[in-house]
Amino acid sequence: MRILFCNYEYPPLGGGGGMVNAFLAQELAKRHQVTVLTSRARGFAGESVENGVKVVRVPVLFRTQQAVGNLPSMLAFVGMGIFEGRKLLQKDRYEVINTHFVLPSGPVGDALSHFGRIPNVLTVHGGDLYDPSKRMSPHRHSVLRMWARRLLRRADMVIGQSSNTLENLRRFYTPELEGVRVPLGIPKREFPVGSRTAYGFRDDEILLVTVGRLVPRKATFQLTRLIDSLRDRPVRLVIVGTGPQEHLLKEECRVRRVVDRVSFMGHVSEEDKYRILQVSDLYVSTSQHEGFGLVFLEAMASGLPVVCYDVGGQTDFLQDGETGFLVSLNDLDLFKRRCELLMRDPELRRIMGERNRRVVEDYFIEQCAQRYETAFTDVLNGSWQRRNM
């Protein structure tokens, strides 16, 4: 197949949605011709080949941060993506378009599908439909909600990465729409052997690690309060990632006098990320919502138990008391008690970690890519339309 991906963000820009698109594109490129149409920040090449994938980056204005975009750059991508995408369609005949995120990528994929008369498979990631931390989340605004509903209905197929994402799709947008659930996947890896001392961590410390963009939805301030409440234990919080709240979090640590117990690692390579996960004891997340939670799979593959909230797509594969603990949203007291239980019981951590290594085997990128191939084939041969008549 000749596949065109449309995604506003693609590594190294953005977060998990762009990352999983890269995993998927690279896996499919082993068997198909794959092109990705995405946005470009200053210093990026307009066109390149990355791990067998042709990546075409269109210029957008006002992108100031690598981790997160902003409204002007998103709006710019709609216009520039359509303009440059039409040039791509004139050069090459793609068989299927896979658009990631209903907004802001959705209008690009929809316009190119109409222009080239090519089927459009629209993948929704969760935060593009429902983000409780954002005032501009489409589910809160009638105009954005109508725009998203139109794009969802015009797509030839809609794929959601979790039960929660598909539930929000039906709840806020299209109750009648039958979407397809395709869980995300991560690559199989030979995990690098890490050393605590290489990162300045002590062997007698219990390391609580979290990975992600430092944005309001992640509620990372709750983790700094958690560390403040655990002063009687040799525990360190390791924060991997960057974002607009980083300076506020560092100031919070200074105010709480926990600077020496919180390590901000910033943006790190994939190898360093896995090394840090490998030397940690427990993965923690206070995110208010995850459409899926790719980082949970990475933590599980590293043999870590997971403590997080029970809201979001991660509930498809995390089980309370089995893979770690699921806690009611914002119940910080219970969150602390669950962490303390795991901190003082290394055998329980080991048992949960070993279970997580087995569970994650069902969520490698090979399985995800095979499901996407089936979805694309169903759309191309018409069997999906027949099932939904």
pLDDT at 24 over 90: yes
Q: Are residues 153 and 211 in the same domain?
A: no
Kindly state whether residues 201 and 84 are assigned to the same domain: no
Phi, psi values for residue 212, rounded to 5°:
155, 170
Give how far Cα 32 sits from Cα of 4, 105, 134, 139, Å.
11, 22, 37, 36
Q: What is the pLDDT of residues 59-118, one digit of tens each?
A: 887 666 665 567 778 888 999 999 999 999 999 999 999 999 999 999 999 999 999 999
Question: Is 114 exposed, middle or buried, given 0-12, 13-18 or 19+ CB atoms closer than 10 A?
Answer: exposed
Q: Which residue type occupies 93?
A: R
Closest CA to 186 of 21, 12, 373, 10: 21
Range of the domain at 69: 2-187+364-387
119 and 24 together in one domain: yes
Predicted local distance difference test score (pLDDT) of residue 178 = 82
Domain check: are 106 and 253 in the same one? Answer: no
Claim to verify: residue 14 and residue 108 sit in the same structural domain: yes
State pLDDT tens for residues 220-242. Answer: 999 999 999 998 889 999 999 99
Mean pLDDT value across residues 321-334 = 98
CA 121/CA 40 separation, integer angstroms: 23
Q: What number of residues does the chain have?
A: 389
Between CA 60 and CA 388 the distance in angstroms is: 38
| Same domain as 170, residue 240 | no
Per-residue pLDDT at 63: 66
- Give, for 251, the enclosing helix (H) or strand (E): helix 246-256
* 143 and 249 in a common domain: no
Give the Cα separation of 169 and 145 in Å (integer): 11
Q: Are residues 53 and 159 in the same domain?
A: yes
pLDDT at 388 over 60: no
Tell how strand 180-181 and strand 157-160 pair up.
parallel
pLDDT tens per residue across span 256-297? 999 999 999 999 998 999 999 999 999 999 999 999 999 999
pLDDT at 309: 98
Answer yes or no: do 263 and 161 share one domain.
no
Average pLDDT over residues 13-30: 91
Q: Is the pLDDT of residue 184 over 90?
A: yes
Q: How many domains does the chain have?
A: 2
Q: Do 48 and 162 belong together in one domain?
A: yes
Which token pair is 26?
């690279």
Q: Are residues 177 and 257 in the same domain?
A: no
If you average pLDDT over every residue of the chain, what do you get? 93
Please say if the pLDDT value at position 389 is more than 70.
no
* CATH code of 31's domain: 3.40.50.2000
User: What average pLDDT does range 204-219 have in this prediction?
Assistant: 96
On whether both 169 and 206 belong to a single domain, the answer is: no
